[in-house]
Amino acid sequence: MSGNIEGKVVVITGASSGLGEATARHLCAQGASVVLGARRVDRIQSLADELIRGGGKAVAVGTDVTRYDEVKRLVDTAVQTFGRVDVMINNAGLMPHSPLERLKIEDWNRTIDVNIKGVLYGIAAALPYMKQQKGGHIINVSSVAGHKVRPGSAVYAATKSAVLMLSEGLRQEVKPYDIRTTVISPGAVDTELPDSITEPDVADNIHKFYQAYAIPAESFARTVSFAISQPPEVDVNEILFRPTRQEL
């Protein structure tokens, strides 16, 4: 599976924990150079140091995905350090579930800023380089919630549905440049995502659900690896996966 991964330069947002951290470890072990972006600089620097000690290539760049200049700096650093950017993984996300009637407007704004604008900024930062290279791969992270909405998840689901539409629009637009696009929609995966819920009763229910059903973050990392490892003429556009026991 790793035949098309070794030597690739991969930028990952939200790399300080969960899906991003697991993916960085997995791809680095297969020979990719990883450029780690997240707000928790100490976490990504520690991860980068660990990967380098293990013989890998890694760089950490403090990144708030709600700021385009910081996302651009992340991708620029990848190119300055390794000469190109082959894969952009727009992974950073929030999931502050709450019923709409509670009017958690600040949560709504943060969710939109991270889950939609953060993806757009990642695309904007990587696309010029990939166009110039005549190749690359943009991977966006949606969710099962982008396909199914439940009470209390309306805003989160709306942002993840938006990621699906952005990814499909991008797919159609980048054909002249031989750029591949993948959108991945995970179900319950063991990450810190439930910790972003600010309503205690909602958080308690979601944590119980994750404790009962969530699968390891490495499941996502293997999915990313599958998409990247395909030969250049194969474009895996969408992957939806869940824990086997998850009904939603």
Question: Is 90 part of a structural domain of the chain?
Answer: yes
Q: Each residue of 37-59: pLDDT tens digit?
A: 999 999 999 999 999 999 999 99
Question: Can you tell me the mean pLDDT for 172-197?
Answer: 95
Residue with tokens 């990144």: 63
Q: Where are the beta strands (DSSP E) in 39-107?
A: 57-62, 87-90
Question: Is 15 part of a structural domain of the chain?
Answer: yes
Question: Is 246 part of a structural domain of the chain?
Answer: no
Question: Exposed e or buried b for every residue in 212-246, given b needs 16+ CB within 10 A?
Answer: ebbbebbbbbebbbebbbbeeeebbeebbbbbeee
Question: Is 68 part of a structural domain of the chain?
Answer: yes
CATH number at residue 63: 3.40.50.720
Containing structural domain, residue 143: 2-239
Q: How confident is the model at residue 2 (pLDDT cuts 50, 70, 90)?
A: very low
Question: Is 248 part of a structural domain of the chain?
Answer: no
* pLDDT computed for residue 19 by the predictor: 97
Task: Please list the active-site residues.
Answer: 156
Question: Is 140 part of a structural domain of the chain?
Answer: yes
User: How many domains does one find in the chain?
Assistant: 1
Average per-residue pLDDT for the chain: 96
* pLDDT computed for residue 193 by the predictor: 84
Question: Is 157 part of a structural domain of the chain?
Answer: yes
Question: Is 183 part of a structural domain of the chain?
Answer: yes
Question: Can you tell me the mean pLDDT for 120-133?
Answer: 98
Q: Each residue of 205-241: pLDDT tens digit?
A: 999 999 999 999 999 999 999 999 999 999 999 999 9
